[in-house]
Amino acid sequence: MMEEDKQTSHSRADSAYVESSAIRGRRDDLIHTSPELAIAETDVRLAERGEMVSGSSLWRDAWRRLLKNRLSVFGMIAVALVTLASLLGPFIIRKATGYTPDYIPTDAALLKSFPPFTSPNGTFSWTHPMGTDNQGRDLLARVLQGGQISLMVGIISTLVSLIIGVSYGAIAGYLGGRVDNALMRLVDVLYSLPYVIIIIVLLSMFRSQTARGQLVLLFVALGSVSWLTMARIVRGQVLSLKNQEFVLAARATGVSTPRIIFRHIVPNTLGPVVVYATLTIPTVMLTEAFLSFLGFGVQPPLASWGSLATDGIQNIAIFPWQLIFPGVTMALTLFSLNFLGDGLRDALDPQMRKF
Amino acid sequence: MLRFITRRLLITIPTILVVITVTWVLIRLAPGNFYSGEKRLPPAIEKNIREKYGLDKPWYEQYAKTMGGILRWDFGTSLKYEGQSVNAIIARSLPVSATIGILAYLLALGVGITAGSIAALKQNSKWDYASMALAMLGISVPNFVLGPILVLIFSLTLYWVPPSRWAGFPSRNIILPVLTLSAIYMAYIARLTRAGMLEVLRSDYIRTARSKGLSERAVVMRHALRGGLLPVVSYTGPALAFLLTGTVVVERIFALPGLGNYFIQASLNRDEPLIIGIVAFIAIALLVMNLLVDIAYAYLDPRIRY
Amino acid sequence: MNRNNGTLLEVRSLRTYFDTEDGTVKAVDGISFALQRGETLGIVGESGSGKSVTNLSIIRLIPSPPGKIVSGEVIFDGRDIQLLPESEVRKIRGRRIAMIFQDPMTSLNPFMRISRQLMEITQLHLGYSNAEARSHAIKMLETVGIPDAAVRADSYPHEFSGGMRQRVMIAMALSCEPELLIADEPTTALDVTIQAQILELIKSLKEKTGTSVILITHDLGVVAGMTDHLLVMYAGKVFEQAATSELFARPGNPYTRGLLRSVPDPTAEQGKLYQIPGLPPDLARLGPGCPFADRCDRAEELCRKEFPPFVELTPEHYSLCHFAAEVYEQSGRKEIL
């Protein structure tokens, strides 16, 4: 009975050992005590890897750690709230007060900027919790709609850069050698270019007739700014992954190269990719904001937080709320996104833990 | 090392040419033109204007003319600012931007590195949390929100500093623009320094230094700083690029006659020579500065030898 | 184990715990031993047994969150290091107690020249001037066998090979002629041939200067020729301690016995190599019984329930086991398989 127990405990212990070192990303080799056992161990390792890819303990572990970090939980909740508010807010406001973001009152007396919670004759009123802008439009509705646009731009542009960056980096990393060299050289060169300057030129030259067209242009332009770092990150990951056994095993069983890259390796790079993507969203939103601030981004009648800020600055001395509300809302959202990104990074990369 | 520099320069030159070409193409491809916006002028007038500016010649001739001029470092005259050569405009506006930019970055380095190092040394203390929270704020508040708020508080309410306008270098006018511009970099650098220092302080060679009986101060200043600040050095490269765009915004807000402000105006006016001149200048400046940063990094880290 | 004259270091009931996310890890849980002047003590154990933490605790280099030396005394030359102010401890570090670490690549400052790293110590502790420190550094490098020392002193660590770097570390450690050298797995990161050279170097330097040595390793082959006494550690506790020759010949603990069996014997017949089955326990979740019980071939229910006693087999030989006497008896009779 002792012998059997030893055997099973041996392989179970090995699996545990393999799994833990797989999570930590090390390549410790077990001591091979005989050729038959050596093959069995590789099977174990492959199976473990397969499980990992479909999201077992690595992600659950990370999720647990994320939840323990109060700041990132706060970030998550705040972001969720803002997103919800942006999506549903304008609708609710229309039902409640009748004001849409674009509605300009017909009554001349209302074509002014009112401070928050004030009605035209100076008494307290719920109609405009954030006041109105110079043309009498409800600021809360505009801020929320601005949120829609800003968030949408942030997310879609990040997705664009993600797709480009991950593909580029994965291909460069996996193919290695001269191809990798050339591709990364290109990235280095592009990295040192004054991207935003060129984008400003692009956007100013091609101010589309339609606001929608401008949006699409923005997506592409902003997406093409952040893919570079993403490509670098992914390439680094791929380089370290491609020499591990599961890749060898896939190759040995004849899986084609694109499949190896995209179905086997890329899922294992998801950790840093997710972290970086979460941190890219606020960066992109910031870029869009200042582009809109300068006049090149979102065009009226659409509004984003950046363009609301431009309007707001005009009268900052007299009607400071016009700038403060969109500004603070934006700052809060970015704040939360950054916390979330930081928390994700700490959760997914245990070696970078605080202690 | 010399080979590395030459190789870099060899790549740089075609890159700049490509950048200029792309800009030129973008300007030309755009609908509309500089002299009339979207309106249509009477044909005779239009013909005159086009002849005057050589716009009636075939595109390759125009391109050659532009590029030829550039290679002679002659970017032509501004289309909007009558009679002023692009070189003159750049020469006049560069000091403004440079002053603000350099001061802002120096401030960011000074405050950021100090705050970040202290945060790392006193990890998880009140100081650590406070400065990292502030840093978070710094990277989340856009500069075009921060600037006006600072103006509101310090200019319009407290009357400590004038709200805008350029008044030369050592003047109180530069305080708010420099602060606004440096805020986000201060934050990034503080975070980077903290992260870099934390990692170094955990490393084996710091343990060795401590085991030699060195005082904590010697361990940090002599051993840890060098490695811990490397991320900040390598951040300087991309930071300079962002600094550029930050300067643009700050110049707009505070009405400073700097390179960025002229650039925006030129883009809005479709002032082709000025646009190309500024873009070329910025591209070259960036590439040169990146090269300097890489050299500095190699100098600081003896493991890297080109 | 009570020797008073010539005792250089005495550790009594040292406990060092770490606060981690998974609970309190009792890395070192009640270690006691004594080291005589001129003696070489070996501490042997698997990874996670607490051997490195023991050393770092001796000179108080435990990173303080999350680790903490909870209790115990470390009496060096009559004074308890745990009670000294930090400034006093710093005078001991590097000067009277020196350490060399496992991985010389990461243990040397990659941004600083070797000469500077060596000069630092003598300038700090012995007050040498620049010139004196430098010539002393070069002399030390020559002593440890770095060829062309005067020129190579100004190199950076990455310009040396692994074996050379470890020699540099030894040179650094012995710069002030310390009374105690603690070598934490000095050869683990090196090739086998270099290992032998480094061990020889340590041995010869020790004989020349009379330094006491604590040698920590997981490799029994390393301690065999080098040490006078051995301490076997497991899960933060001392499982057995004895004179080296005695331990090898007559182990009194199933763990030690297992370790000895795992050492490959070229003269034995071909077959499966022996490995102690299982893995070291999770130090944050130890049961009430013997921490080795799950892997022990002699274990019984008693072992899981009750913590084993520290049995004195001879005045010089102790073992932590319920069946210590029996194992001792057995190994006296049989050949080690």
End-to-end CA, chain C: 30
Residue B35 confidence (pLDDT) above 70: no
The pTM of the full predicted model, rounded to 2 decimals, is 0.80
Looking at residue A27, its pLDDT comes to 26
Looking at residue A58, its pLDDT comes to 65
Interface test with B, best of C81, C86, C107 (most B CBs within 10 A): C107
Any chain B CB within 8 A of the CB of C68?
no
Interface test with C, best of A3, A6, A11 (most C CBs within 10 A): A6
Distance from CA of B182 to the nearest CA of A (A): 16
| Omega within 30 of 0 (cis) for the link into C66 | yes
Choose among B115, B110, B105: nearest CA to B136: B115
Structure tokens at A302: 């659409």
Any chain A CB within 8 A of the CB of C23?
no
What pLDDT band is residue B180 in, cutting at 50, 70 and 90?
Answer: very high
Residue B192 confidence (pLDDT) above 80: yes
C278 vs A17: CB contact, 8 Å cut-off? no
B151 vs A316: CB contact, 8 Å cut-off? yes
DSSP C9: E
**pLDDT tens readout for residues B47-105:** 777 777 777 677 777 788 778 877 787 777 777 777 788 888 888 888 889 888 999 99
By C-alpha distance, the chain A residue nearest C298 is A2
Looking at residue B189, its pLDDT comes to 93
Q: Among the listed ranges B149-153, B160-164, C290-294, which one has the minimum average pLDDT value? A: B160-164
d(Cα B202, Cα B212) in Å, to the nearest integer?
A: 16
Strand partners, C16: C28, C69
| Omega within 30 of 0 (cis) for the link into A301 | yes
Residue of C108, C111, C124 with shortest CB distance to B208: C108
Query: Mean pLDDT over residues B151-178, rounded?
Result: 79
More confident residue, B123 or A50: B123
Sheet with strand C237-243: strands edge to edge? C97-100, C180-184, C212-217, C40-44, C229-234, C237-243, C317-320, C310-314
**pLDDT tens readout for residues C14-35:** 999 888 877 788 888 888 999 9
* B198 interaction partners in chain C (CB closer than 8 Å): none
By C-alpha distance, the chain A residue nearest C64 is A355
A355 vs C273: CB contact, 8 Å cut-off? no
What lies within 8 Å, CB to CB, of B31 at 6+ separation is A206
CA torsion, ordered A282, A284, A290, A295, to nearest 10 deg: -140
Residue indicated by tokens 């290109």 = A186
Looking at residue B57, its pLDDT comes to 72
Any chain C CB within 8 A of the CB of B208?
yes
List the pLDDT tens digit at each of the 355 positions of chain A.
333 333 333 333 333 333 333 333 222 222 222 333 333 333 333 333 333 333 346 677 777 777 877 777 888 888 888 888 888 877 777 777 777 777 777 776 666 677 777 666 667 777 777 777 777 777 888 888 888 888 888 899 999 999 999 888 888 888 878 888 888 888 877 877 777 788 888 887 777 667 777 788 888 888 887 888 888 888 888 887 777 777 777 778 877 777 777 777 777 777 788 888 888 898 888 888 888 888 888 877 778 888 888 888 877 777 888 888 888 889 989 988 888 888 887 777 654 433 3
Q: B touches which chains (3+ CB pairs under 8 A)? A: A, C
d(Cα C261, Cα C337) in Å, to the nearest integer?
A: 6
Is the Cα dihedral B192, B193, B199, B205 positive or negative? positive
Query: Mean pLDDT over residues B119-138, rounded?
Result: 88
Looking at residue B34, its pLDDT comes to 66
What pLDDT band is residue B209 in, cutting at 50, 70 and 90?
Answer: very high
Any chain C CB within 8 A of the CB of B223?
yes
Residue of C108, C111, C124 with shortest CB distance to B214: C124
By C-alpha distance, the chain B residue nearest A325 is B145
**pLDDT tens readout for residues C282-312:** 777 788 888 888 888 888 888 888 888 888 8
d(Cα C197, Cα B158) in Å, to the nearest integer?
A: 74
d(Cα B223, Cα C110) in Å, to the nearest integer?
A: 10
Looking at residue A349, its pLDDT comes to 65
What lies within 8 Å, CB to CB, of C212 at 6+ separation is C8, C9, C35, C36, C37, C38, C39, C40, C41, C179, C180, C181
B148 vs A316: CB contact, 8 Å cut-off? yes
What pLDDT band is residue C206 in, cutting at 50, 70 and 90?
Answer: confident
* C278 interaction partners in chain A (CB closer than 8 Å): 9-10, 13
* C101 interaction partners in chain B (CB closer than 8 Å): 204, 207-208, 211
Instruction: Tell me the residue type at A164.
Output: I
Are A284 and A158 contacting, i.e. CB atoms less than 8 angstroms apart?
A: yes
A355 vs C20: CB contact, 8 Å cut-off? yes
Q: What rounded mean pLDDT belongs to chain B?
A: 84
By C-alpha distance, the chain C residue nearest B202 is C63
Query: Mean pLDDT over residues C161-177, rounded?
Result: 90
d(Cα C179, Cα C81) in Å, to the nearest integer?
A: 15
Give all strands (DSSP E) within C109-251, no chain letters: 180-184, 212-217, 229-234, 237-243
Restricting to B residues 250-269, those with a Cβ less than 8 Å away from any Cβ of A are 252-253, 263-264, 267-268
Q: C touches which chains (3+ CB pairs under 8 A)? A: A, B
Looking at residue A29, its pLDDT comes to 28
Q: How many CB atoms lie within 10 A of CB C265?
A: 12
C63 vs B205: CB contact, 8 Å cut-off? no
Q: What rounded mean pLDDT belongs to chain A?
A: 72
**pLDDT tens readout for residues B102-120:** 999 999 999 999 999 999 8
* B299 interaction partners in chain C (CB closer than 8 Å): none
Give residue C203's Cα distance to chain centre. 15
B211 vs C98: CB contact, 8 Å cut-off? yes
* B205 interaction partners in chain C (CB closer than 8 Å): 106-110
Percent of chain C with pLDDT over 70: 96
Restricting to B residues 8-27, those with a Cβ less than 8 Å away from any Cβ of A are 11, 15, 19, 22-23, 26-27
Looking at residue A111, its pLDDT comes to 66
B213 vs C172: CB contact, 8 Å cut-off? no
Structure tokens at A83: 């997103």
Instruction: Tell me the residue type at A149.
Output: I
* A317 interaction partners in chain B (CB closer than 8 Å): 152, 156
Choose among A229, A237, A307: nearest CA to A265: A237
Distance from CA of C318 to the nearest CA of B (A): 32
Strand partners, C10: C34, C75
Interface test with C, best of B200, B203, B206, B208 (most C CBs within 10 A): B208
More confident residue, B2 or C131: C131
Any chain B CB within 8 A of the CB of C59?
yes
By C-alpha distance, the chain B residue nearest A309 is B145
Sheet with strand C67-76: strands edge to edge? C23-36, C7-20, C67-76, C79-80
Any chain B CB within 8 A of the CB of A168?
no
Looking at residue B37, its pLDDT comes to 57
* A193 interaction partners in chain B (CB closer than 8 Å): 15, 19, 283, 286
By C-alpha distance, the chain A residue nearest B284 is A193
By C-alpha distance, the chain B residue nearest C93 is B213
d(Cα C224, Cα C229) in Å, to the nearest integer?
A: 10
Are C175 and C143 contacting, i.e. CB atoms less than 8 angstroms apart?
A: no
d(Cα C313, Cα C322) in Å, to the nearest integer?
A: 12
Q: B277 in the Ramachandran plot: left (φ > 0), alpha (ψ -120 to 50) or beta?
A: alpha
CA angle B202, B205, B210 (to 5 degrees): 85
Any chain A CB within 8 A of the CB of B151?
yes
Q: How many CB atoms lie within 10 A of CB C319?
A: 28
Residue of B22, B145, B249 with shortest CB distance to A331: B145
CA angle C79, C83, C84 (to 5 degrees): 75
d(Cα B195, Cα B187) in Å, to the nearest integer?
A: 12
Any chain B CB within 8 A of the CB of A338?
yes
Any chain A CB within 8 A of the CB of B244?
yes
Are B281 and B90 contacting, i.e. CB atoms less than 8 angstroms apart?
A: yes
* B215 interaction partners in chain C (CB closer than 8 Å): 90
Q: What is the ipTM, given to two decimal places?
A: 0.84
DSSP B174: G
Looking at residue A238, its pLDDT comes to 82
A13 vs C20: CB contact, 8 Å cut-off? no
B29 vs A205: CB contact, 8 Å cut-off? yes
Restricting to B residues 84-123, those with a Cβ less than 8 Å away from any Cβ of C are 123
What pLDDT band is residue C138 in, cutting at 50, 70 and 90?
Answer: very high
By C-alpha distance, the chain C residue nearest B216 is C90
d(Cα B66, Cα B125) in Å, to the nearest integer?
A: 59
More confident residue, A2 or C90: C90
The three-state secondary structure class of B160 is: coil
More confident residue, B227 or B172: B227
Distance from CA of B101 to the nearest CA of A (A): 16
Looking at residue B153, its pLDDT comes to 85
Looking at residue B306, its pLDDT comes to 60
* A355 interaction partners in chain C (CB closer than 8 Å): 20, 65-66
